[in-house]
Amino acid sequence: MLPISHYRSVDERRASGPKDFLDIHLRIRDLQVNLGASDSFICIFYESEGGAQGPWKMCTATDVLAKVRSHDLLNAFSVEYEFDQFQQIKLETCDYTEETASVLGYTTFTVAELVASNKEPITRKVINEETGDFVAHALISCAPRARATPVLVQFLARSISKKSVGENGTIMFQVYRIENNDDRMLLYRSEPTKNGSKVLWRHFTLQRGDIADTIDRQIEVVCYCRDDKGKRSVIGQFQTEYSALINGSSIQNLYHLINGVKGNKKSCGTFEVVRCADVTMYTFLDYVISGANVHFAVAIDFSCSETDSEQPAIRNFYEDVEFVVRTLGQQFHEYDPSNQYAAFGLGAKIPPLYRESQEFCLSLETDPNCRGLDGILNAFTTALSSVKPMSNAHFAHVIYYVSKLAQHSHSRGNTGRPQYYVLTIITKGCIKDLKETIQAIIFASRAPISVIFVGVGNGPFSDLERLGSAGSRLAFQGRKAERDVVQFASVNAQTISDVGIEEFKSVFREQALAQIPWQMATWMMKNGVVPNSAKGSTTMMYHPSTAPTQRRRLQQRSGSFDTNSENEDSYGSFGGMSAEFEFRPGSANSELQRIISDSETLSISSCPTAKRMPSSGSLYEESDRRRSQPSVPPGLGGLRSFSIQASSSSGSFVGSAFRQRRSRMLID
């Protein structure tokens, strides 16, 4: 009844969508200029390879600076924002001479603190580690780097000669940018399709920076045909430019295909621009940096078998729950200023009457909220000694409850601070109410919520793994999930002992949280929620109708879309994701005018479209750095052994220090 579980690699588990980069700004104030033996100093930045205490990996250093009380270092470095990782940065100020660089003081901060600070700088005291003396104040802020703007284009061909194509032939087109030296650079290759009186291709995206950077570039569209023997020939071509395409469907955007190769100036057909518009895609970073709150909720399965009721098993269960709550809950601390976390229990008989319950407040009171992560664990300790475990647990009740809680919180909350919930269900065993849980997940796909199933111990988790990998394929009795909301992760004591606690934390967080940013952005865009920073924009907003089933990283680390195809007969798409677009001028409360109602696919060649499969009646249905060496002062001497990675003259680093090692320890 369930499909074979699809294993997701590191890249597939990581969410689709543009990458987000932050430019970090540093301002030094009240520097104690009398410290040290020289008149110069430098700032060195480190990234933690473990927890809050390191170990530290040197990333970049500033230029040599004169010892004056104040310095403003804009774009001191850059970092790729990753919600699923604990990104701790260490700043050292060092007395600098040509021969040596001695540390005056240091401070630490996290990238999440910068993102959640509402664009205000955070202030840190730079302190000497040995003496505790004050060295300076560091004011640290960030700004998201601008992303490339996609341009949505769709062509319609008419009156293509059947004689040119043949009965069984197919036609396609390619889009080129004409360089200053008259060379052609391929920007897009369409899918092949059969000829007819009119041919409507899928819409696709071009990057505005490719077609209109410093000037309005000339664009050439070449139409080809291919016969049943695979021979390809040119039907015709035409030239245009962005300023003309952006006018959309009009008489000005009717082009005749001229076959200049044969010296024939006769029209071989026409191309019409059906639509052309700049498209805005918002990301998780856009929302949280504008004030969105992301709430952490947890539900703990108390059900157990006879062997699970023994004392060693109970102790292991408590340790696993504590690990999950602290590891995942820590990532939400900066995004939920209330520090109140909803916590539930299920699969137990609760006092005083010891009636069976599949959804109760973990505190055994009427309010599910607990103060901080310690409050959750204290409530769990009390409940563990008070309730009587049942032999099975049902997950649907708590999913329905938290989904309605999320809907209510979003609808009643401040429109400038949208709300989103992440429910983590910690369980030891198999799922007993599979059909009901699937229906609850389909309901949750319409609410501002994501669900993480975390398996602890050695229980049977095959059904939960399949739920976690189903994505938007989830369906039951004709009702389909609107987007992907579920993921599965597991905690195993043997794996922790093999790889080490800090490294396992990093991998576990990525397993559980890597998809959350895209899932949240998907729901926000689908429901017309616009970040505060983007209100007033009149560009077309990307409107996903289904989140991608398989995640693939964009090839360009800068966040731009690569529209070059490797296969001539293939076309790109955005993670196999169907999409709609709506025009959203100004306020999100304004009347929406749908201008594209078909369920088609954005074109990005690094993410091939998942083929649609016919329904089999089952519960699941198939759907669709660059790094340059920074200018490090020569007097750093022994520091040269560190890996210094940067992308600007003042230095930058991107990515996580764990990325190279994760590939060796993926968790099934």
C-beta separation of 127 from 134 below 8 A:
yes
Residue 3 above 60 pLDDT? no
The continuous run of DSSP H or E covering 124 comes out as strand 122-127
3-state helix, strand, coil in the chain (%, to 5): 25, 35, 40
pLDDT band with cut points at 50, 70 and 90 for residue 267: confident
CA angle, corner 318, sides to 313 and 324, nearest 5? 125
Q: pLDDT per residue over 210-244, tens digit each?
A: 888 766 788 999 998 887 777 888 888 999 988 88
As beta bridge partners, residue 298 has 343, 424
Q: What are phi and psi of 479, to 5 degrees?
A: -100, 130
pLDDT at residue 26 in the model: 94
Other Cβ atoms less than 10 A from the Cβ of 451: the count is 28
pLDDT at residue 2 in the model: 46
Which stretches of 206-353 are DSSP H helices?
208-211, 242-245, 284-289, 311-329
**What single-letter amino acid sits at 140?**
I
- To the nearest whole number, what is the mean pLDDT of the chain? 76
Residue 568 above 70 pLDDT? no
Tell whether domain 20-144 is in CATH 3.30.360.10: no
Residue 643 above 70 pLDDT? no
pLDDT band with cut points at 50, 70 and 90 for residue 429: confident
* Nearest CA among 400, 413, 342, 330 for reference residue 371: 342
> Distance of CA 137 to CAs 64, 71, 98, 266, 447, Å?
18, 11, 26, 73, 43
pLDDT at residue 608 in the model: 27
Residue 127 above 70 pLDDT? yes
pLDDT at residue 606 in the model: 25
Other Cβ atoms less than 10 A from the Cβ of 261: the count is 12
pLDDT at residue 260 in the model: 66
Q: What are phi and psi of 393, to 5 degrees?
A: -135, 150
Please list the residue range(s) of the chain that carry CATH number 3.40.50.410.
285-533
Of the two residues 556 and 149, the one the predictor is more confident about is: 149
Alpha carbon distance, N-terminus to C-terminus of the chain: 21
Q: pLDDT per residue over 149-166, tens digit each?
A: 888 899 999 988 777 777
Which stretches of 478-550 are DSSP H helices?
493-499, 501-513, 516-526
Residue 634 above 60 pLDDT? no
Cβ contacts of 167 within 8 Å, gap of 6 or more = none
The single residue listed with the structure tokens 């306020």 is: 587
Q: How far apart are CA 493 and CA 315, in angstroms?
A: 12
**What single-letter amino acid sits at 271?**
F
pLDDT band with cut points at 50, 70 and 90 for residue 609: very low
Per-residue buried b or exposed e for 314-343, using 16+ beta carbons within 10 Å of the residue's own CB: eebbeebbebbbebbbbbbbbbbeeebbbb
pLDDT at residue 264 in the model: 60
pLDDT at residue 327 in the model: 93
Q: Which two tokens stand for residue 123?
A: 């202030």
**What single-letter amino acid sits at 94?**
C
Share of the chain above pLDDT 70, in %: 74
pLDDT at residue 421 in the model: 97
Largest Cα–Cα distance in the chain? Answer: 92
Residue 502 above 50 pLDDT? yes
Cβ contacts of 419 within 8 Å, gap of 6 or more = 292, 293, 295, 406, 409, 410, 413, 448
> Distance of CA 263 to CAs 254, 266, 356, 383, Å?
22, 9, 84, 84
Q: pLDDT per residue over 352-405, tens digit each?
A: 999 999 999 999 999 999 999 999 999 999 999 999 999 888 999 999 999 999
Q: How far apart are CA 345 and CA 394, in angstroms?
A: 11
Other Cβ atoms less than 10 A from the Cβ of 71: the count is 17
pLDDT at residue 535 in the model: 59
Quick one: how far is CA 332 from the chain centroid?
15
Residue 554 above 90 pLDDT? no
Between strands 254-258 and 348-350, the pairing is: unpaired
Q: Which of 85-99, 451-465, 539-553, 554-568 is predicted least confidently? A: 554-568
Please list the residue range(s) of the chain that carry CATH number 2.60.40.150.
20-144, 150-280
Q: How far apart are CA 292 and CA 585, in angstroms?
A: 21
* Nearest CA among 433, 507, 435, 510 for reference residue 477: 435
Helices vs strands, H then E, count in the chain: 15, 34
pTM for the model stands at 0.71
Cβ contacts of 641 within 8 Å, gap of 6 or more = none
Residue 651 above 60 pLDDT? no
The single residue listed with the structure tokens 């100020």 is: 93
pLDDT at residue 196 in the model: 81
pLDDT band with cut points at 50, 70 and 90 for residue 601: very low
Residue 143 above 60 pLDDT? yes
Cβ contacts of 619 within 8 Å, gap of 6 or more = 1, 2, 434, 435, 438, 474, 475, 476
pLDDT at residue 665 in the model: 40
**What single-letter amino acid sits at 496?**
I
Of the two residues 546 and 173, the one the predictor is more confident about is: 173
Residue 592 above 60 pLDDT? no
Q: How far apart are CA 325 and CA 454, in angstroms?
A: 10
Radius of gyration of the chain measured on its C-alpha atoms: 28
DSSP category for residue 628:
B
| SS3 state of residue 383 | helix
Residue 80 above 70 pLDDT? yes
Cβ contacts of 291 within 8 Å, gap of 6 or more = 118, 416, 417, 532
* Nearest CA among 521, 551, 539 for reference residue 585: 539
Cβ contacts of 618 within 8 Å, gap of 6 or more = 1, 2, 3
* Nearest CA among 390, 275, 289 for reference residue 334: 289
pLDDT at residue 447 in the model: 95
Q: How far apart are CA 324 and CA 322, in angstroms?
A: 6
pLDDT at residue 617 in the model: 33
Q: How far apart are CA 115 and CA 36, in angstroms?
A: 34
Q: Residue length, the chain?
A: 668
**What single-letter amino acid sits at 629?**
Q
Q: How far apart are CA 443 and CA 449, in angstroms?
A: 10
pLDDT at residue 375 in the model: 95
Topology of domain 285-533 in CATH is Rossmann fold (3.40.50)
Topology of domain 150-280 in CATH is Immunoglobulin-like (2.60.40)
C-beta separation of 454 from 427 below 8 A:
yes
Q: Which two tokens stand for residue 445?
A: 């796909």
| SS3 state of residue 542 | strand
Residue 603 above 60 pLDDT? no
DSSP category for residue 212:
B
C-beta separation of 526 from 482 below 8 A:
yes
Residue 206 above 80 pLDDT? yes
Residue 299 above 90 pLDDT? yes
Q: Which two tokens stand for residue 448?
A: 């501002």
**What single-letter amino acid sits at 585?**
P
* Nearest CA among 334, 339, 338, 341 for reference residue 288: 334
Peptide bond into 352 cis (omega under 30): yes
